[in-house]
Structure 1
Amino acid sequence: MSISEGSVSISVNEWNPVMKSVKKLKERYQKILGGTASTMEQELIARWLKQLDIGEAMDKKALAEWQERSMTELQERAKPPVLVRSRTRKFIWLAGAAAVLLLGMVWLVKPYRDYSARSAQQVPAYIEHSTAAGQRKMLTLADGSRVWLGNASKIRYPENFQPDKRRIFLEGQAFFEVKPDSTRPFFVYTSGLDVKVLGTSFDVKHYPADAEPAVTVASGIVSVKPVHEGRGWMLEKGEQLTYRLLDKTATVEEVDLRVALSWKDGELIFRETPLEAIAVRLERWYGVEIQIASPSLQTKQMSLSVKNEPLQTVFGMLSEAGDFNFDIQKRKVTVWK
């Protein structure tokens, strides 16, 4: 069967393959949207999209917009062509229909690509670094500042700092050596404290389980304030602020910087420190779990210096000085009187 007008004719059998192809493409597209497409059908659609250089997965909003527009366009593009009179040449219907469909798909994809470009501009890329228990890491930021990341800690910051500020998000402990820049203050945010400097060196410690985060200044001046509060403190070299989350009070005192910052150089120094607090630091340092079975030992004040010693040696020294027993089974240490 054929349809003819003047010298131009098209066979229905010739048009059917195009219609079938469009119909299959539409069916596969709808299956993917409904989550029922087979692996082969997903691969076929993926090949189309790859040729059109889509690049990234769509979010729900963009996908819905694309679906609505593309279905309309596919329906319009799939209509049989209007026959026109021509004395010089015949239409190559299969090639023409395929070209129209391809152009339609390219036009349909363009709004999504524009949407993706706008989204990429609005949401800055972030870099994240983390350490496990018993691990430390030294990093150099894009502005030249350096960060010593402590055990079981994590930091996150924009790939490119903003023109008016530099921001770091911290969970755990880190020592910062900030490159001076009076036009771009340097911020460190934790879940409890916000720290602001222009160019100095300082330590921030706030693990999720910590009830008393602390900030220690090694050089320069550091501004510290609790999250969502207007009041704050200005700290100078040698000062340490300890903030109590429970009652929202703080203590500022002078400390021995060698003791407070020794971890940065691979050493732990304790001076008249409760065994319970020492145990917490040793857990992060060696990646173990420490259980103090005798409550009377938790508050026992002890002094200790640790640098590259095996865990067995460390507890050997502690048990001798503190007159207690200990047992190490794999990654678990038990202490009792």
Structure 2
Amino acid sequence: MQDYRNFEPEELAIDPSFQRWKLFNDPKEVDFWQNWLVQNPDKQDLIDKAHQLLRALNGAYAPTTSDRVLLSDREIQHEIQRLHQSLDDTDKPVTKWYRFTPLRYGMAASIVVMLGVFWRYIIHPPCTKNKVDVTYSELITESARPLKEVTNPNAAPRLVSLPDGSTLLLKAGGRISYAEDFQGPIREVYLTGEAFFEVHKDPDRPFFVYAKGLVTKVLGTSFTVQAFENDKQVKVVVKTGKVSVFARNQTELTQQKANSKLGGIVLTPNQQIVFSPTNTSLIKSVVEKPSLLEGIAQSKPFQFKRTPIAEVFATLEKAYGIRIVFDEDVMKSCYLTAALDDEPLFEKLDLITQTINARYEQLDAHIIIDSKGCEP
């Protein structure tokens, strides 16, 4: 299987699988690439650029939808690679000229134009709208409406009430800006620093938090955003409900504003995302100290007496909202007798896995159990 993470946009544009996805909406390829993007959210920019190039290439070679063809021709690939090399020399103006075969004059011209656009975009971004590593000051200047700013120069958190009834605790040194009324189909705030949000539920009017290069979209929930001006990362931690996050991109942002559905990477309680604006990486994981979900704390569900391990893991999943993945057939003879009421989740897992001679690890906000099984 191809390692698409290392592809350049022009390489991806001529990949048959990518073309079947973007040109023909092949169901098998749609499923593959959607799953690939879930696993590689930091490569959305690569997908967007390759799609733009593919549309330009196919527009020159097959102007109508019915004429679309797979552009797997070696000659096209060769021309793309040669032109890309000429544009890679960013210290000098692009002055190299190449001879093109007559068959591909129109295609070559299209490639020149599109790669030139890519070169200008990467080396000389036209504006801050698609800039990922963006400052708080740059963000608030993009607002079309006048904003009210609240700051917290004190050591204690400051409670801020928003126009829709939502509240936030703004930590020391934090700043938040928002319109004095939340008119229109969306609610927007701009943050630098750290704040804990409790958002009033309004499914028809999504709530957006802009913090450096990360956008958080919710309908009504509670969560924390950490986005300090001098830090290289942004973190979002979910306490209740569902939160969606995505790297700041004008196309993606426009699509997300147009509907009330949660897009991007969706987080649930006890999950977090760490975002790096410099390379647009998004790392999803379990929080350091998972807490019991609401309604679980008083029920004392963690007393087991020769309980099948599948029931033990199901109890933990329900209590913490964290998926536990294991091979039920391999572990069908594993049972647990223990009282684990007061231990934090990871201490519970340590005790359980030691007892049944297994081990665990975290992967993409899941707990993965590795076991060779138990003797009957």
* Shorter-chain TM-score tier: 0.3 to 0.5
Q: TM-score, normalised by structure 1?
A: 0.39
Q: TM-score, normalised by structure 2?
A: 0.35
- Higher normalized strand content (fraction of residues): 1
Which protein is bigger by CA-based radius of gyration?
1
